[in-house]
Amino acid sequence: MNDGQLESWFSALDQDGIVKLPFDFANEVAACKRRYQLDPSLFQNKNGYFINTVDPWADNNIMSMLCHPVILGLLSLRFGAQPILRHPPIFRIDRALNGPFDETGIRHIDDLEKGNAGFAQNWHADNADLMHVDVLFEDVDLETSHMEFAKRSHHIPFCTLDPAYDANFADKTVKSEFEIVPLIGKAGTVYVWSGNGLHRMRPVKNSFRSLLIFYSTPGNNLISNTEGWPPLEILDGSQAPEPADRAIVEDPLVAQYLGWAYPDMAR
């Protein structure tokens, strides 16, 4: 990677609010899926929206994805400052058994059985200073549950009025104003996108989606209490991961990225 390439990818992110990186983490994802037994068949009869935290210090593959120089470089350019990890990385699973789904209806935040995502089915923005890095853990296409992003909507200063995401936007209006980008691709595909852009979960009946998410900020909007997100368990001891290589975080800026928002990670 050279500075010109990074600037080019950042220009796309800055203009569009989203960029699909020109490389993938297919090998790292395959290793993680073996170690944590992340098999869709285990969720065959489950319907819901599941979140677990992951400890990057316990898994060298997760740490290497988290600290990839392109990802840290894009976040630094976006914030004009050292990026800070908002909370531990999370692994998210969406398993949709029910349907069809009403695009116009407003879901209650706890109404998870109707498409698992509840409020996230509606077009909404998160936070102006929040950046997402999504790593797909399954092949995702238009026939499976996936996220949609309203391209260039991040240029509008949306405001979430309360923690329950009081800001929702009509599907017809969003589609008339913005180009819609589906976050699809093979397992290992990486997207970086702005939390101020309008986005929503697009659940598809009888489908399965799983991904690893890194949330970053310039230092505000941090979360230290993640009691509702249990750790992801290593289910197969024979596939126990290697601990993180300390060389990955020898750079003090990387160490700060891991340590400020969640002190327990600065080991």
pLDDT on residue 55: 79
pLDDT on residue 88: 81
Long-range CB contact pairs, 76-80, < 8 A, 24+: 77/6, 77/7, 77/10, 77/14, 78/10, 78/13, 78/14, 78/131, 78/194, 79/129, 79/131, 79/216, 79/217, 79/218, 80/218
Q: How far apart (Å, rounded) are the C-alpha atoms in residues 66 and 56?
A: 8
Pairing of strands 189-194, 131-136: antiparallel
166, pLDDT greater than 50: no
Return the exposure string of 212-249: e unless at least 16 CB atoms fall within 10 Å of the residue's CB, then b.
bebbbbbeebeeeeeeebeebeeeeeeeebeebeeebb
Question: Which range is most confident: 18-27, 193-202, 228-237?
Answer: 18-27
Q: How far apart (Å, rounded) are the C-alpha atoms in residues 10 and 70?
A: 10
| Distant-in-sequence, close-in-space partners of 178: CB < 8 Å, separation ≥ 6 | 150, 151, 152, 153, 198
pLDDT on residue 185: 97
pLDDT on residue 91: 82
Lookup: tokens for 11: 């220009």
Lookup: tokens for 179: 């180009």
Is the bond leading into 100 cis (omega within 30 degrees of zero)? yes
Q: Give CA 52 to chain center in angstroms.
A: 12
**pLDDT tens figures, 205-253:** 777 778 899 999 888 777 766 666 666 665 444 455 566 676 666 666 6
**pLDDT tens figures, 127-142:** 778 999 999 999 999 9
pLDDT on residue 133: 96
Q: What pTM value is reported for the model?
A: 0.83
Residue type, 9: W
- Walk me through the domains of the chain, giving residue ranges and CATH numbers: 3-265 (2.60.120.620)
Q: Give CA 245 to chain center in angstroms.
A: 23
What is the pLDDT of the chain when averaged over all its residues?
Answer: 76
Lookup: tokens for 202: 């697009």
Q: How far apart (Å, rounded) are the C-alpha atoms in residues 255 and 28?
A: 21
Work out the average pLDDT over 4-31: 94
Confidence of residue 105 (pLDDT cuts 50, 70, 90): very low
In the numeric block, the tokens 């209006």 are attached to 173
Among 182, 179, 129, which residue's Cα sits nearest to residue 152? 179
98, pLDDT greater than 80: no
93, pLDDT greater than 90: no
Please name the residue ranges forming H helices in the chain: 3-16, 26-35, 60-66, 69-79, 171-177, 252-259
179, pLDDT greater than 80: yes
